[in-house]
Amino acid sequence: MEYVNVILPLALPQLLTYAVPEDFSGKVLPGMRVEVEVGRKYYRALVYSLQDEAPQGFVVKPLRHVIDLMPVVTAKQLELWKWIASYYMCTMGEVMTAALPNGLRTTYKPRTETFVRLHESVQHDALLEKTLNTLKRAKKQEKLLLDFLDLTNGVTDATVPKKILMHSYGASVATFNACVEKRIFEVEQREVGRLDRSAVATKNMPVLSAAQQTAYEEIKEQWHAKDVVLLHGVTASGKTEIYASLMAAELERGRQVLYLVPEIALTTQLIGRLQQLFGNIVGVYHSKYSDEERVEIYTMTGANNTSPPASPPLQIIVGARSAVLLPFAKLGLVIVDEEHEASFKQLDPAPRYHARDTAIMLAAQHGAKVLLGTATPAVETYYNAKSGKFGLVTLPERFHPVPLPAIEVIDSISMRKKKRMNGLFSQPLLTAIGEALEKKEQVILFQNRRGFSPFVQCAECGHIPQCKHCSVSLTYHKQQHALVCHYCGYTERLQGHCGECGSANIQTKGFGTEKIEEELQQYFPDARLARLDLDTTRAKHAYRRIIHDFETGQKDILIGTQMVTKGLDFGRVSLVGILNADNLLNFPDFRAHERSFQLLTQVSGRAGRKERRGRVLIQTAQPHNPVIHFVQQYDYHACFNLQLIERHEFAFPPYVRLIGVNMKHTNEAVLQQAAALFKEHAGAALGHRLLGPFPPAVPRIQRKFILSFWIRAGRQDNLPEVKKMLGQHFEQLRAHQGWSGLEFAADVDPV
């Protein structure tokens, strides 16, 4: 008898075992999908492993059905899933849900299209002639047959998509059907891809500058000794061109390349550049694609290629986070661009994995090399490079001989005192914008808050509307005329009067991108403004539109959140303005300064990339903050060194490993009791390594109260043991009478 251990799309801590019925004996392999019964429900599950011995202690049910003839998940993927589940403290089911496109978990319908060809009986020239003669009195049918021959250039055994035949000449369905009836045409359904595979390579590989060539060779050299190399290159140094050359070399060896980017905003420009170089072997994988499209990319990346034969397999996959979970057949190289970006880490739901670190594991499985690229390496990454774990190659100059932008710091407090501050705009910033517009140059403005204003307040009683489900104030969105919770999406209409005292004197407070857009338009009525943030990019192609319009000079000023900081390459931007650096600097997190340095440097890097030197204005109430100084001086090393001193002093990564634990429950009293018990039990083993419980910055989200803990493990601690022990405590607490609603979210290596 055979048995299979299967992964279910449920948050079960363990795999379930089923017996393989006679009919399927020998036909079930790891990585195949099967249908099984749990409780009284049927689920699609994935076979993880096989075993011969019957499990003890319970009655084994037979599996109901085997869905696949070939595995849809490779052995390497299963191995990686296992690593993710144990390292990031989640279940295999959660990893599977993240890894498999929905279409593979439920029902995927291939797209088919109708093709038309001449019926066999008329394919002979003589017979065709005869047929045409018989159609003398059926003019419409005669015309349709001639149209067909027109489309095929007279080739009688060619096929034509039905919709092309019908649309080009405007034939009616009745005429077409009559031709099929008379056995002039025959039709055939064919599976076609949904992906646009029409890209053709039109450009030659860029010729690398001397500095780029040296970096390129150094990277290859260092890969002899190290699997991971960090390319530390200033903004606009031409890292992308180095990546392209490395990719070309890898393709020549017949191996695939995974190119990870932090967000899709980056990809529209990048994909274009890569398709011009490599044509239709470039595939894009991200969450804004439909499920069907994702299934196709998934299959075309994999070894068991069942894609339509006309399309060549994908050799370069560009994707955000989850692309690291694709079934690569022969991976040779992973590039992680902007490796410092926090969005490589998944926050919710589990698996809370870091795509960069997971990519390093993935590459090791394939014997592939990894290149991490950025102008502002994450502290941990640079630490790994400095300590010799990773290789390190630097590219200190820009490709075009333009110096890095001049960065000026504007003291917003003293400006305000001198009455030179209009709302969020200082006089010097307004002047600089005016000058840039005058010269027909473009401007990027950065503000890390979307919406109109972060909150509204009653001027009479001071009341601030809060979310019903979360302990945060509601953000005002003017266009929707609504108050919106940025944590749970709860939305309510803005009332004309205060909910507490009834006063009509409601004031908007603070600045989001929407308000900046509105105010700016008042100062510059003729300027053409565009806004790039979560709200303006919800639709599938909205990103592309906004970036295209700015790139082609149809907009003058681009206002945006983080999204404008990432890797965009516009030639005509001469000025970058940061409206308020204080939001970043004061963020309550041990990485606030690291993040501020990265963000400010990256957004500055969007200015003056090609012709003239760019200019950056940073408005802040803390002009003497060391981070501001480091940004201004482009001094990554000084920033890094100061960070290390602080991290060492306060015991933060890279000197310790962190695990965050959020405990949640709808009942606050239950939560507090459970947290106290956890503190007592886990604390007995962990001692001072367990910090908490404490309420997080937003202590209630979607009706659930939250308490947090930190586990701070030293280098000598056995981390796998610690994680196992934590997992056991979670189980025990959940098993407690009446506490089954308790949720635990463990965040390993939080960012």
- Under the criterion CB under 6 A, does residue 247 sit at the interface with ligand ADP? no
Residue 509, classed as helix, strand or coil, is strand
Write the interaction track for Zn ion spanning residues 409-448; mark x where CB under 5 A is met and - where it is not. ----------------------------------------
- Under the criterion CB under 6 A, does residue 272 sit at the interface with ligand ADP? no
Residue 33 or 398 with smaller CB distance to ligand ADP:
398
**What does the block give as tokens for 87?**
């390292």
Least distance from Zn ion to the Cβ atom of residue 471, Å: 9
- Kindly identify the residues of this chain, within the stretch 466-485, that bind Zn ion according to CB under 5 A: 467, 469-470, 485
- Kindly identify the residues of this chain, within the stretch 485-504, that bind Zn ion according to CB under 5 A: 485, 487-488, 490, 498, 500-501, 503
Give the distance from CA 435 to its chain's centroid.
Answer: 37
Least distance from ligand ADP to the Cβ atom of residue 544, Å: 18
Out of 94, 142, 241, 339, which residue is the one contacting ligand ADP (CB under 6 A)? 241
- Under the criterion CB under 6 A, does residue 239 sit at the interface with ligand ADP? yes
Least distance from ligand ADP to the Cβ atom of residue 60, Å: 55
- Under the criterion CB under 6 A, does residue 299 sit at the interface with ligand ADP? no
Residue 122 or 266 with smaller CB distance to ligand ADP:
266
Residue 92 or 470 with smaller CB distance to Zn ion:
470
The item of Zn ion, ligand ADP, none sharing an interface with residue 208, based on CB under 5 to 8 Å by kind, is ligand ADP
Residue 216 or 390 with smaller CB distance to ligand ADP:
216
Helical segments of 88-193, H only: 92-99, 102-105, 125-134, 139-151, 162-169, 173-181
Return d(Cα 511, Cα 423) in angstroms, integer: 9
Residue 163 or 203 with smaller CB distance to ligand ADP:
203
Size of the site for ligand ADP (CB under 6 A): 17
Residue 486 or 609 with smaller CB distance to ligand ADP:
609
Q: Which residues pair with 743 in a beta bridge?
A: 664
- Under the criterion CB under 5 A, does residue 79 sit at the interface with Zn ion? no
Return d(Cα 283, Cα 274) in angstroms, integer: 10
- Under the criterion CB under 5 A, does residue 234 sit at the interface with Zn ion? no
117-143 in b/e form (b: 16+ CB < 10 A) is bbbeebeeeeebeebbeebeeeeebbb
Q: Is the peptide bond before 693 cis (omega within 30 degrees of 0)?
A: yes
Q: Determine how many CB atoms are found less than 10 A away from the CB of residue 710.
A: 18
Residue 481, classed as helix, strand or coil, is coil
CB of 91 within 8 A of CB of 16?
no
Write the interaction track for ligand ADP spanning residues 29-68; mark x where CB under 6 A is met and - where it is not. ----------------------------------------
The item of Zn ion, ligand ADP, none sharing an interface with residue 616, based on CB under 5 to 8 Å by kind, is none
Least distance from ligand ADP to the Cβ atom of residue 211, Å: 10
Residues 6 or more apart in contact with residue 522 via CB below 8 angstroms: none
CB of 641 within 8 A of CB of 415?
no
Least distance from Zn ion to the Cβ atom of residue 457, Å: 8
The item of Zn ion, ligand ADP, none sharing an interface with residue 580, based on CB under 5 to 8 Å by kind, is none
Q: Which residues pair with 220 in a beta bridge?
A: none
- Under the criterion CB under 6 A, does residue 598 sit at the interface with ligand ADP? no
| Residue (of 298, 253, 277) closest to 99 by Cα position | 298
Out of 97, 209, 267, 374, which residue is the one contacting ligand ADP (CB under 6 A)? 209
**What does the block give as tokens for 582?**
């204080």
Residue 150 or 460 with smaller CB distance to Zn ion:
460
Strand (E) or helix (H) holding 681: helix 668-686
- Under the criterion CB under 6 A, does residue 376 sit at the interface with ligand ADP? no
**Residue 234, φ and ψ in degrees, nearest 5:** -60, 165
Q: Which residues pair with 19 in a beta bridge?
A: 3, 62
Residues 6 or more apart in contact with residue 468 via CB below 8 angstroms: 490
The stretch near ligand ADP (CB under 6 A) out of 96-104, 208-216, 408-416, 451-459 is: 208-216
Least distance from ligand ADP to the Cβ atom of residue 240, Å: 3
- Under the criterion CB under 6 A, does residue 339 sit at the interface with ligand ADP? no
Give the type of residue at 412: S
- Under the criterion CB under 5 A, does residue 195 sit at the interface with Zn ion? no
Q: What is the DSSP letter of 309?
A: T
The item of ligand ADP, Zn ion, none sharing an interface with residue 467, based on CB under 5 to 8 Å by kind, is Zn ion
Out of 9, 101, 103, 233, which residue is the one contacting ligand ADP (CB under 6 A)? 233
CB of 152 within 8 A of CB of 117?
no
Out of 36, 208, 573, 585, which residue is the one contacting ligand ADP (CB under 6 A)? 208
The stretch near ligand ADP (CB under 6 A) out of 34-42, 228-236, 274-282, 454-462 is: 228-236
- Under the criterion CB under 6 A, does residue 275 sit at the interface with ligand ADP? no
Return d(Cα 535, Cα 209) in angstroms, integer: 40
**What does the block give as tokens for 215?**
């970096």
Q: Which residues pair with 659 in a beta bridge?
A: 711, 748
Residue 52, classed as helix, strand or coil, is coil
Write the interaction track for ligand ADP spanning residues 494-533; mark x where CB under 6 A is met and - where it is not. ----------------------------------------
Least distance from ligand ADP to the Cβ atom of residue 569, Å: 4
* Maximum CA extent, the chain: 96
- Under the criterion CB under 6 A, does residue 604 sit at the interface with ligand ADP? no
Write the interaction track for ligand ADP spanning residues 380-399; mark x where CB under 6 A is met and - where it is not. -------------------x
Give the type of residue at 48: Y
27-56 in b/e form (b: 16+ CB < 10 A) is ebebbbbbebeeeeeebbbbbbeeeeeeee
Place of tokens 């096929």: 159
Q: What is the DSSP letter of 249?
A: H
The item of ligand ADP, Zn ion, none sharing an interface with residue 233, based on CB under 5 to 8 Å by kind, is ligand ADP
**What does the block give as tokens for 629?**
């100084």
Write the interaction track for ligand ADP spanning residues 545-584; mark x where CB under 6 A is met and - where it is not. ------------------------x---------------
Task: Tell me the residue number closest to ligand ADP, measured at CB.
Answer: 238
- Long-range contacts of residues 722-725, Cβ cutoff 8 Å, at least 24 apart: 722/659, 722/686, 723/86, 723/87, 723/89, 723/659, 723/748, 725/682, 725/685
Return d(Cα 229, Cα 363) in angstroms, integer: 12
- Under the criterion CB under 5 A, does residue 590 sit at the interface with Zn ion? no
The item of ligand ADP, Zn ion, none sharing an interface with residue 487, based on CB under 5 to 8 Å by kind, is Zn ion
**What does the block give as tokens for 293?**
């499209």
Residue 242 or 467 with smaller CB distance to Zn ion:
467
- Under the criterion CB under 6 A, does residue 236 sit at the interface with ligand ADP? yes
- Under the criterion CB under 6 A, does residue 212 sit at the interface with ligand ADP? yes
Q: Determine how many CB atoms are found less than 10 A away from the CB of residue 417.
A: 10
The stretch near ligand ADP (CB under 6 A) out of 156-164, 238-246, 426-434, 593-601 is: 238-246
Out of 21, 55, 62, 206, which residue is the one contacting ligand ADP (CB under 6 A)? 206
CB of 530 within 8 A of CB of 555?
yes
Q: Determine how many CB atoms are found less than 10 A away from the CB of residue 309.
A: 8
CB of 84 within 8 A of CB of 353?
yes
What residue ranges bind ligand ADP (CB under 6 A)?
206-209, 212, 233, 235-241, 399-400, 569, 609
- Give the residues lining the site for Zn ion (CB under 5 A): 458, 460-461, 463, 467, 469-470, 485, 487-488, 490, 498, 500-501, 503
